[in-house]
Copies of this chain bind each other. A is one copy, B any other.
């Protein structure tokens, strides 16, 4: 399953906006020079799917495009399903790199928890594939991906060369700017979404609730904080872990005498 010396790297590309999104096309174009690309992405939008998996319905996939060095599949599942299905059933070997995105919208701070883009990255990491998520802080369908492509390619190239530790994945977020000031290595800012629902009524007058909200920081702004870096015009790069154990608190818990 591992890469042969003379083989071109095999790169799995996915996202949560679906295989038709501008962001994933931009990403595939940007990474063409790095290896053979397989796009295996949802057949429509799956934003906010986190690491959701589909077990009560069957999954299907279809080949939608094939040309030398670029193959595109669409899949009925979530981003996590896509990664599982691609690696288990479709790819000839384990990919050398997974890149998810470019997401239409930021995935900084706590968004890493809800994001389908990052769900796919987490899944790649679980498979021990060096995995990177790239997100642009612009939700628009026609967003300009030029800078996020430039930076995504830069980081992807470096990950291919250096690898990543077992259980660690990367979360790259890019602000809207003609020229980003650089990439700042950051940690996940502590904060959460507030004012989360817009209440309205359905056709018969019954109340319904639409998810919305604003992000609120829970900590003083410090230089290694991803939200600050983005505010200041830098791209933020946060290394994240699969293992969520709170090791220091294990000691306290062991004294609870349960």
Contacts and interface: CB of A to CB of B under 8 A. Distances in A.
Interface of A: 45, 47-56, 58-61, 80-81, 84-85, 88-89, 110, 112-114, 119, 122, 126-127, 154-155, 158, 162, 165, 167-168, 170, 182-183, 185-188, 190, 192, 196-197, 199-200, 202, 206-212, 224, 237-247, 249-250, 253-254, 256, 258
Contacts of A88: 196-197
A158 B209 contact: no
Report copies per complex. Answer: 2
B240 A114 contact: no
A183 to B, nearest CB: 4
A59 B48 CA distance: 15
Contact of A209 (B89, B170, B197): B89
A196 B167 CA distance: 20
B89 A199 contact: yes
Contact of A52 (B48, B165, B244): B48
Nearest to A256: B158
Contacts of A258: 154-155, 158, 182-183, 237
Looking at A58, A119, A208, A210, which has the most chain B CB atoms within 10 Å of its CB?
A: A58
Contacts of A244: 112, 188, 240-241, 244
B208 A58 contact: yes
**Considering residues A54, A81, A200, A211, which has the most beta carbons from chain B within 10 angstroms of its beta carbon?**
A211
Chain B CB count within 10 A is highest, among A49, A84, A202, A246, for A246
Contact of A245 (B158, B182, B199, B239): B239
Given A55-B210, A88-B197, A186-B250, 4 more contacts: A58-B202, A84-B197, A88-B196, A240-B244
